[in-house]
Amino acid sequence: MIELRSSLLDWIVHRRGLRRWRRAARGASTMPLSTLRTERARARQLRHSLNDLISVADNRLALPMIGSNAFPKPHGTDWSWRPALWREPLARPGRSSVQSKSMLGDEITLFHDCQHSELTLRQLRNNREADLAPYGLRMDVFSFDGSFLSLVLNLPDEAVQGLQRRHLIRMNTIIEMEKPLEIFVRLNIRHGPNTEQIVRELPLHEDDIMVEFDLAYSNLNEKRIERAWIDLIFENPEMSQLILRDVTFCRHPRADL
């Protein structure tokens, strides 16, 4: 009975609030400026709270769950990460005629040497049952008059905290392509004045697309590590569409031999 009464009161308050703001909206063009300023300030406060509520509700009710960092990890993983582009909605979800060094979100940068860009990038919502990542990244390439195309992904500071040569860094991805492409992944680790680079080709013919970077074979100076980033390098991308449904990273120590 108490719950029913509370629900009824909530409904009444909600209806009154709607009527109040509808009246204010209808009268905004004629009300005095002093009143309009007050109403605008109140509306902005309300909009901020409503946007917060809608954002949280969308995050919790959408599938896959927005913000999810869940994905399979090897035993002993001491760091894992799904970039924000695959977890959260971007304020600006797409770009067309993308120029070199343009960013999508805070972590992804596109590099190319085209004179006339016919490239588009767009974040899209994943909705397949198999998708663990809430979002994906679609790249469309039409005419391509350049010699290279790459996406650069800056790894967070946590990726290099405590990083040692005994570590393996793993990247997993899910990719859909209109036509076969060669895609290479390059791990770059800045240590002092030097940058260690390790290149792997993505095994696109396999169901589980994964590459590992074994730092045991590098010349990494563990005491001077500053930062790390990933290059995704696309060979002959002209007239192609590619969707990165998911991109994840993890770090774990290699097994003792």
Task: Write the pLDDT tens digit of every residue in 174-217.
Answer: 999 988 899 999 999 999 999 999 999 999 988 779 999 999 98
Has residue 15 got a pLDDT over 80?
yes
At residue 5, the pLDDT reads 65
Q: Which helix (H) or strand (E) holds 97?
A: none
CB atoms within 10 A of CB 9: 10
At residue 69, the pLDDT reads 78
Has residue 87 got a pLDDT over 90?
yes
Which residues does 17 contact at the CB level (< 8 Å), separation at least 6?
none
Question: What's the CA gap between 72 and 80, in Å, rounded?
Answer: 10
Say if 69 falls within a structural domain.
Answer: no
**67 Rama class: left (phi>0) / alpha (psi -120 to 50) / beta:** left
Has residue 255 got a pLDDT over 80?
no
Question: What's the CA gap between 252 and 156, in Å, rounded?
Answer: 16
Question: What's the CA gap between 105 and 88, in Å, rounded?
Answer: 10
CB atoms within 10 A of CB 248: 22
Say if 73 falls within a structural domain.
Answer: no
What is the tally of structural domains in the chain? 2
Backbone phi and psi for residue 51, each to the nearest 5 degrees, phi listed first: -60, -40
Say if 229 falls within a structural domain.
Answer: yes
- The stretch 130-151 carries a mean pLDDT of 91
> Is 88 in the same domain as 178?
yes
Which residues does 45 contact at the CB level (< 8 Å), separation at least 6?
none
> Is 230 in the same domain as 112?
yes
Token reading at 112: 């190319």
At residue 173, the pLDDT reads 96
Domain that holds residue 249: 79-253
Question: What's the CA gap between 252 and 74, in Å, rounded?
Answer: 7
Has residue 127 got a pLDDT over 60?
yes
At residue 205, the pLDDT reads 87
What share of the chain has pLDDT > 70, as a percent?
94
> Is 117 in the same domain as 210?
yes
- The stretch 109-137 carries a mean pLDDT of 90
Average per-residue pLDDT for the chain:
89
Say if 67 falls within a structural domain.
Answer: no
Tens-digit pLDDT profile for residues 37-80: 998 988 888 888 888 888 777 766 666 776 777 788 998 999 99
> Is 154 in the same domain as 237?
yes
At residue 160, the pLDDT reads 95
Q: Please indicate, yes or no, whether the overall pTM of this predicted structure exceeds 0.75.
A: no
256 — pLDDT class (breaks 50, 70, 90): low
Strand segments, DSSP code E, in the chain are 79-81, 94-96, 102-104, 108-112, 119-125, 135-141, 149-154, 167-177, 182-191, 194-201, 209-214, 225-235, 240-253
Question: What's the CA gap between 132 and 87, in Å, rounded?
Answer: 10
Say if 89 falls within a structural domain.
Answer: yes
- The stretch 207-236 carries a mean pLDDT of 93
AA letter at 72: P
